[in-house]
């Protein structure tokens, strides 16, 4: 039987970390949109694995998402998705998803997206005022900037330093001065360089950046001579993107060493997590690997704790960036 033992053991202390101002009992989180907390909790108790639960991205209003087909398997390397941010809207998430995750014993990171800077600000304001936030259940907002900026002709917020700053500034104002809720910005790799984006996010006052969102990719059914996804391209994720994510994490960390980074992209193994930390990540998120094995979190925690024991590493996060700064 592969389910984790029912006698709970706490997260090993070696896996505790701090992302900016936010302490986490485990440096492992799920990535947004890849995870059903209730069902996964039945398979392995989440509080013993996760530093926080990241919600699926919520928008101010419900969104129905894209038509089928929404996913394509990519042999051996991962998958494409074109979900289209289907979600039941912020009010529903605050009334159900957040309390459900909190009830499982995990702090919640709300992944949010909007179509205008003002809407980002309004989202943040509504969240601060909400009962879950007042109860301390929401520890951070993660801005999903891979959403078209309607006011700027539909270009993604995340593909331009100015619009990144606009969204972050608005969200910061929405949170208000002195809010204990951290602000994270999830950056897209679909830009010529991520450095101006990270610099802009940092200047606009984010507490951390999440690197990275999915890569754009497409697939063609050659028999039918058609694109498989109805919107042609979708987000490429899975083990195949790991080296790309690792590159962006080390690059941003090398240029902006004071900017906390949450590394995400293709993480599946203990070695992947260690590499992300050594490249400069303070924490990591695991996404597509959940589709293959819902026990991935428990396996990573066990493996990382063992590794720390064998290597004599007291606190894993102390290795943050060592690959960058050790010759």
Interface ranges with other proteins (CB under 8 A): 1-3, 33-36, 39-40, 42-43, 56, 62-65, 67-71, 73-79, 81, 83, 86, 88-89, 91-92, 95, 224-228, 230, 232, 238-239, 288, 290-295
Rounded Cα distance, 27 and 283, in Å: 4
Of the pair 242, 308, the CB lying nearest other proteins is at 242
Of the pair 2, 258, the CB lying nearest other proteins is at 2
Kindly write down the DSSP assignment for every residue of 136-151, as one continuous string. T-EEEEEEE--SEEGG
CA 191 to chain centre: 18
- How far apart are CB 94 and other proteins at their closest, in Å? 9
- How far apart are CB 208 and other proteins at their closest, in Å? 24
**Beta-strand pair 208-211/215-218:** unpaired
49 is catalytic: no
Report yes or no: 213 and 186 within 8 Å, Cβ to Cβ.
yes
What are the start-end ranges of the H helices in the chain?
A: 37-43, 90-92, 98-103, 117-129, 131-134, 161-175, 195-203, 242-255, 270-279, 289-292, 296-311, 322-325
Catalytic entry in 34, 106, 147, 290: 147
> CA torsion angle for 28, 188, 198, 251 (degrees, to 10)?
70
- How far apart are CB 175 and other proteins at their closest, in Å? 22
- How far apart are CB 39 and other proteins at their closest, in Å? 5
Give all strands of the β-sheet with 283-286 in edge-to-edge order: 28-30, 283-286, 261-264, 208-211, 182-187, 138-144, 108-112, 53-54
The neighbour count for residue 70, using CB atoms within 10 Å, is: 18
- How far apart are CB 64 and other proteins at their closest, in Å? 6
Burial classification of residue 174, based on how many CB atoms lie within 10 Å of its CB (0-12 exposed, 13-18 middle, 19 or more buried): buried
The neighbour count for residue 192, using CB atoms within 10 Å, is: 8
Q: What angle do CA 108, 111, 117 make, to 5 degrees?
A: 135
- How far apart are CB 88 and other proteins at their closest, in Å? 5
Of the pair 68, 326, the CB lying nearest other proteins is at 68
**Beta-strand pair 233-237/215-218:** antiparallel
Query: Which residues are catalytically annotated?
Result: 147
């Amino acid at each position: 039987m592969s389910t984790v033992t029912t006698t709970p053991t706490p997260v090993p202390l070696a896996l505790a970390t701090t992302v900016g101002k936010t302490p986490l009992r485990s440096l492992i989180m799920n990535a947004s949109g890849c995870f059903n907390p209730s069902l996964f909790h039945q398979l392995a108790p989440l509080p013993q694995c996760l530093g926080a639960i990241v919600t699926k991205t919520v928008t101010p209003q419900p969104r129905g998402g894209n038509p089928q087909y929404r996913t394509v398997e990519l042999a051996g390397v991962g998958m494409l998705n074109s979900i289209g941010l289907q979600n039941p809207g912020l009010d529903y998430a605050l009334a159900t998803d957040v309390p459900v995750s909190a009830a499982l014993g995990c702090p919640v990171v709300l992944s949010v997206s909007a179509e205008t800077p003002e809407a980002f600000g309004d989202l943040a304001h509504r969240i601060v005022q909400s009962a879950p936030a007042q109860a301390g259940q929401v520890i951070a907002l993660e801005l999903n900037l891979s959403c078209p900026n309607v006011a700027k002709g539909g270009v993604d917020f995340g593909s331009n330093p100015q619009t990144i700053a606009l969204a972050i500034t608005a969200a910061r104002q929405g949170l208000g001065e002195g809010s204990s809720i951290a602000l994270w910005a999830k950056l897209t790799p679909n830009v010529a360089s991520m450095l101006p984006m990270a610099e802009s996010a940092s200047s606009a006052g984010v507490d951390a950046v999440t690197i990275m969102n999915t890569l754009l990719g497409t697939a063609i059914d050659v028999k039918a001579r058609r694109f498989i996804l109805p919107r042609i391209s979708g987000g490429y994720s899975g083990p195949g993107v790991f080296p790309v994510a690792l590159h962006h994490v080390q690059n941003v960390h090398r240029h902006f060493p004071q900017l906390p980074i949450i590394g995400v992209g293709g993480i599946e193994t203990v070695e992947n997590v260690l590499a992300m930390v050594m490249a400069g990540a303070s924490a990591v998120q695991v996404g597509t690997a959940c589709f293959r094995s819902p026990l991935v979190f428990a396996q990573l925690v066990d493996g990382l704790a063992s590794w720390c024991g064998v290597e004599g590493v007291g606190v894993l996060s102390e290795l943050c960036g060592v690959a960058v700064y050790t010759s």
